[in-house]
Amino acid sequence: MTSTAAHPSSAEAVALADRIGELLACMRSAEAELGALLVEIEQRGVMELFGYRSAARLLEHLGDVPKPAAERLVRRARLLNPGRNLDGTPIPALAPAIGAAARAGRLSNPMIDVITGVLAEVPCEHRDSAEANLLTFAAEAGHKQVAALGARILAHLVPDGAEPDDTEPVIPPRELFLRRKRSGVWELNGRFDDETGTRASALLDALAERRSSDDGPDHRSLPQRYGDAFSDAMDLALNSPDLPMQAGERAHVMVAVSLQDLKSGVGKATLGDTGEMSAAEARVHACDAMIIPAVLGDKSEPLNLGRFRRLISAGLRRALFLRDRGCAFPGCHRPPRHCQGHHIRHWADGGPTDLGNLVLMCAHHHRLLHRSGWEVRIAADGLPEFLPPVFIDKRRKPRRNNLHEPLPFAA
């Protein structure tokens, strides 16, 4: 007699399988909706809404999602949902029909990745028909079979693959072009000999390493990291004691801002001769940067001309270096030479320039502190500690940076 204890009835198996299918559809639909929401947040401005650089970083904090998974989810969502360029012009979705099927819970992530990978290589004029064929086949086949169909489609539409670049590289002379556009964005391009390019690459590579700290892993693209590295290189060069004099002074930039705008952080400031920055950005730089603020009254009369190096003396700066040992933000590894002195209570609001009101911070975390819900204070033991925003930790438990080596004192 054959036992049936280990063999559920057909109806039972179908019911269980159906339930698994329902749950998978819910999970897939929810993830697709989450991706669409993150793309919308990117378009509205994740920096303006939350103070974070990217939607993936926000997701990582809010959902305790590992960095690779958060990046994959956002990257996948950009392909399935329409977006916008910086100038506001729309960016059509690569695979809108796949996006609709994903939101309905009908496609797994491997299936979505296979289809979008194929569509990215299909010529634009054939993309809609290829998407329809792949989506139809996906309803009755697994992602491996769909990948095989995609390979056949590409072999038919793009038989020779991408055209190889056989041109010989030409060593350019040293030329640099720097131009300011009406929007206030500066464009930089140039050509250099191999030696200069190699030295520039080594410098930027060192400054463009990914950051990791308690505000989340670094999801900047390589061009973004190089752009920030170039800005850091400018700060290091301007801080050099060997910098040539210009009109009898070391190189600096003057910012003119009204006292009311500087205090509120709302409004505009004049940067140099022709530039412009927000008053909030002026507050960031006014803490301790190579920018000297000229504070103006109601009739544009100068009320205060900030002193060079933003009121922090060389001795006080050394004390900051010794105490904080680098950027004090939790998890940041930046050394002191890459940091600025931040006034905990802003000097424009009457905050004193002393060790109890200063903290050493890199440019990235300095801006994050001004723009997000993070706060810093000096604890009872005289060391800085940071309170995260409520959307990261509702208890706002204080955090410290324990990455920097303490000074070696003899017992």
Q: Indicate if 280 and 327 belong to the same structural domain.
A: no
Q: Which of the pair, 242 or 88, is modelled with greater confidence?
A: 88
Q: Indicate if 261 and 226 belong to the same structural domain.
A: no
Asked if residue 305 has pLDDT above 50, the reply is no
Q: Indicate if 122 and 195 belong to the same structural domain.
A: no
Tokens of 382: 């005289």
Average of per-residue pLDDT values in the chain: 78
Q: How confident is the model at residue 410 (pLDDT cuts 50, 70, 90)?
A: very low
Q: Indicate if 133 and 190 belong to the same structural domain.
A: no
Model confidence pLDDT, tens digit, residues 324-346: 988 999 888 888 878 888 888 87
Model confidence pLDDT, tens digit, residues 103-124: 999 999 999 999 999 999 999 9
Q: Indicate if 44 and 141 belong to the same structural domain.
A: yes
3: amino acid identity, one letter? S
Asked if residue 136 has pLDDT above 90, the reply is yes
- With respect to residue 395, please indicate whether it lies within any of the assigned structural domains: no
Q: 213, 341 in Cβ contact below 8 A?
A: no
Out of 124-133, 199-208, 359-368, 372-381, which region has the weakest mean confidence (pLDDT)? 199-208
Q: Which domain holds residue 46?
A: 15-157
**Beta-bridge partner residues of 340:** 361
Mean pLDDT of 300-312: 44
Q: Indicate if 21 and 56 belong to the same structural domain.
A: yes
Q: Of 324, 331, 327, which is closest to residue 402 (Cα–Cα)?
A: 331
- Cβ atoms within 10 Å of 130's Cβ, excluding its own: 22
Q: Indicate if 61 and 151 belong to the same structural domain.
A: yes
Spell 43-78 as b/e; 16+ CB within 10 A means b: eeebeeebbbbbbbbbbbbeeebebeebbbbbebbb
Number of folded domains in the chain?
4
Cα three-residue angle 229-235-241, rounded to 5 degrees: 135
Task: State the Cα–Cα distance between residues 392 and 271, nearest whole angstrom.
Answer: 35
Q: Indicate if 27 and 143 belong to the same structural domain.
A: yes
Q: Of 223, 281, 289, 278, which is closest to residue 253 (Cα–Cα)?
A: 289
